[in-house]
Amino acid sequence: MTPKLELAAITDEFSPDLNPAAAAMAAIGMTACELRVVWGKNIMNLTDDEVKRAMDVLNAKGIRVLGLSSPILKCTLPEGGEVDSRFQQDIFGATFTMDDQPRLVDRAIQLCELTGARLVRVFSFWRTVDPDRCFEPACRAIEKIADQFKAHDIICGIENEHACNIGTAAEAAKFLAAMPHSHVKLVWDPANALVAGEEPYPHGYSLLPKDRIAHVHAKDCAMDGHKPIWGPLGTRHVDWKGQIAALIRDGYRGAVSLETHWQGPAGNKFEASVICGWNLRGLLAA
């Protein structure tokens, strides 16, 4: 059951304690990870010594850091208008404002140097009732960040996030067309597109420029109105079997990262991630 694409995870989906997270990931066969919350702290708040400690744990398990699941631009755009209250805002220990963004970008570059990560996830401001109003400001902000990242050969990965202004594949495609920057690419999250009201595969995926997909997040849910009901990967509404086959067919050679979200049997998130991790391995090996 050898995966056809690299198997990865956001570590805190297993545990905010990196030691059991890394052990469980290695047992599943995961060889790469994204860092978001480590030892209960958002990565942006880790000291250099804490980052080095994290790298010791990951190196011992043969897990490389492929990217940083940063909270950059996961904040309110002051001139963006009323925030859309239908979508839950997941902050993962990061309550940063517009004023914090330059510092976060600088710290992300430092963290890439410390971890070897070559991809930093960014967002498009908390979603408002008029996302089009935020489109140009998001483009300007991300272009500036990408210029900074380019100097360090770091990819600026815009994630389609249902709680932000670029949530669907259609919105991501529009953004990418307006942003032909060599270091701006997409972190494609089919489940986020579903929560934003779009059929992610095959429809949403068909809209995307395949050569601009730098990374993929994997989770699964069904919808109850605007509320996602998270569940075991591969058992809900996202056609993961079809999506993975299409990625491979279209030449994608990156990793697929587990982002469980499901709280698991009896609320055991660690067990949920182990279950979903094995499910993802099976899907990638099919």
State the pLDDT at residue 121: 98
Percent residues over pLDDT 70 in the chain: 98
Q: Given this model, what pLDDT does residue 91 score? A: 58
pLDDT for residue 226:
85
Alpha-carbon gap, residue 170 to 197, rounded angstroms: 11
* Structural contact between residues 274 and 233, judged by C-beta atoms closer than 8 angstroms: no
Give the pLDDT confidence score for residue 54 in this predicted structure. Answer: 98
Q: What is the pLDDT of residues 91-131, one digit of tens each?
A: 555 678 899 999 999 999 999 999 999 999 999 999 999 99
Structure-token pair, residue 240: 């993961």
Rounded distance, CA 91 to CA 49, Å? 24
- Mean pLDDT score, 174-191: 98
Tell me the pLDDT band of 88, cut-offs 50, 70 and 90: confident
Predicted local distance difference test score (pLDDT) of residue 1? 76
At 106, list the tokens. Answer: 């600088």
First to last CA, the chain: 8
3-state secondary structure of 10: strand
Integer Cα distance of 164 and 160 in angstroms: 8
The pLDDT tens digits for 224-257 are: 998 999 999 999 999 999 999 999 999 999 999 9
Fold of 6-285: TIM Barrel (3.20.20)
Q: What is the mean pLDDT of residues 36-60?
A: 97
Mean pLDDT of 46-52: 98
Q: Tokens 């909270």 correspond to what residue?
A: 71
> What's the rounded Cα separation, in Å, for the pair 121 and 72?
7
pLDDT digits (tens, 9 = 90+) for 196-222: 999 999 999 999 999 999 999 999 999
Q: What is the pLDDT, as a whole number, of residue 84?
A: 85
Query: What's residue 85's pLDDT?
Result: 81
Q: Average model confidence (pLDDT) for the chain?
A: 96
**pLDDT tens sequence across 63-87:** 999 999 999 999 999 999 998 887 7
